[in-house]
């Protein structure tokens, strides 16, 4: 069975009405796109550690990179927790999903997104074990590449963003922009069980039309998968920027905006800087029932002027 089809069969579950693919119509060695669908499978839990990615900034907004385990105070539901794992993010592998909204409201921006992304992937994948995946979403959700460390594979995948995939029967609710469903689907990709840096970078105007899952569902699944969501509001005034701010805040990422005078390349550079200067912490949570939400508060003990960017909670396994 060809790899793309096998990958799709692993990802698609009960909600998927149909799956198919057509022969490639792309540059040599590029993979045909496969359809992704959000599913309801329980995520595998092989460790009792809850992982928290954090970025610390001073009052000028400059990342602080010389902190130690003892520099942090971590609480769950208001109660202090022992930090059992601590590492600089730069010493850990990065798993990145670049997700591009290609619905009608975003079509005019695709060429700029492709150009900026060609420099973004090599800037992000600096270690042999760093990996990335490219996903396109509108009324369907397409995985344009496998999860790969190959810049060549990812560059070829970018060529699909400018192509129509209407000839491929795919997961679809009939809606126009499946933002929340796309987040759920990517959260269920197999990222591995080791503690690592995990992030989604989503280019969209924040509008969702037709998703079966809600914004709360999308946040919950990203938190379960320990993924930081970086959102980039790309619009001339439409969409819903507030949605993007909420997705990022609750998962420990950041929200950016590209306006006519803005620069997507500079935003990509800022995200790359963030992910290179993060701290990775882990703690063993108190016993809890399944599918319960717990609030996480992470602060520093070394200065009141420092701010911490980290997710604000997590859900226990189902």
Express each pLDDT in 100-116 by its tens digit.
998 887 888 888 889 99
N-terminal to C-terminal alpha carbon distance within the chain: 32
The CATH number corresponding to 3-33+93-272 among 3.30.750.24, 3.40.50.410, 1.10.10.10, 3.40.50.2000 equals 3.40.50.410
Give domain limits for the chain: 3-33+93-272, 50-90+278-315
Q: What is the pLDDT of residue 187?
A: 93
Residue with the larger pLDDT of the pair 40 and 95: 95
Give me the mean pLDDT over the 295-315 stretch: 92
15 pLDDT tier (thresholds 50, 70, 90): very low
Among 22-26, 33-37, 259-263, the least confident range = 22-26
Give me the mean pLDDT over the 114-126 stretch: 90
Among 43-52, 102-111, 120-129, 207-216, the least confident range = 43-52
**Taking 90 as the threshold, does the pLDDT of residue 242 lie above it?**
yes
Q: What is the pLDDT of residue 173?
A: 53
Q: What is the pLDDT of residue 6?
A: 27
Q: What is the pLDDT of residue 111?
A: 87
Give me the mean pLDDT over the 69-94 stretch: 92
CA distances from 288 to 76, 85, 192, 227, 312 (A): 12, 20, 24, 21, 17
Calpha distance 42→20 (Å, rounded): 25
**Taking 50 as the threshold, does the pLDDT of residue 99 lie above it?**
yes
Q: Which pTM was predicted? A: 0.81
Q: Tens digit of pLDDT for each residue in 174-204?
A: 557 899 999 999 999 877 666 678 999 999 9
Q: What is the pLDDT of residue 26?
A: 36
Give me the mean pLDDT over the 68-74 stretch: 96
Q: Report the mean per-residue pLDDT for the chain.
A: 80
105 neighbors 239 (Cβ within 8 angstroms): yes
| DSSP H or E stretch at residue 113 | helix 110-124
- φ/ψ of 24, rounded to 5, equals -65, 145
């Amino acid at each position: 069975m060809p790899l793309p089809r096998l990958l799709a069969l692993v990802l698609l579950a009960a909600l998927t009405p149909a799956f198919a693919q057509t022969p490639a119509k792309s540059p040599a060695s590029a993979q045909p796109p496969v359809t992704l669908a959000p599913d309801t499978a329980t995520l595998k839990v092989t460790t009792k550690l809850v992982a928290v990615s954090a970025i610390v900034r001073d009052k000028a907004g400059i990342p602080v990179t010389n902190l130690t385990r003892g520099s942090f105070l971590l609480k769950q539901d208001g109660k202090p927790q022992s930090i059992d794992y601590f590492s600089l993010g730069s010493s850990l592998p990065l798993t990145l999903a670049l997700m591009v909204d290609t619905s009608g409201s975003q079509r005019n921006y695709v060429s700029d997104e492709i150009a900026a992304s060609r420099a973004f992937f090599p800037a992000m994948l600096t270690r042999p074990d760093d990996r990335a995946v490219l996903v396109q979403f509108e009324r369907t959700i397409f995985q344009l590449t496998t999860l790969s460390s190959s810049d060549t594979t990812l560059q070829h995948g970018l060529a699909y963003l400018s192509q129509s995939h209407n000839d491929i029967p795919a997961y679809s609710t009939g809606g126009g922009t499946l933002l929340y469903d796309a987040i759920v689907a990517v959260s269920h990709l197999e990222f591995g069980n080791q503690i690592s840096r995990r992030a989604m970078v989503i280019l969209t105007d924040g509008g969702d039309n037709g998703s079966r899952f809600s914004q709360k569902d999308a946040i919950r699944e990203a938190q379960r998968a320990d993924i930081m969501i970086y959102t980039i509001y790309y619009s001339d005034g439409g969409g819903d920027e507030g949605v993007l701010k909420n997705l990022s805040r609750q998962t420990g990422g950041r929200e950016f905006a590209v306006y006519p005078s803005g620069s997507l390349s500079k935003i990509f550079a800022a995200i790359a800087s963030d992910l290179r200067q993060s701290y990775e912490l882990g703690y063993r949570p108190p016993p809890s029932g399944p599918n319960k939400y717990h609030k996480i508060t992470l602060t520093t003990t070394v200065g009141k002027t420092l701010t911490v960017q980290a997710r604000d909670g997590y859900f226990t396994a189902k």
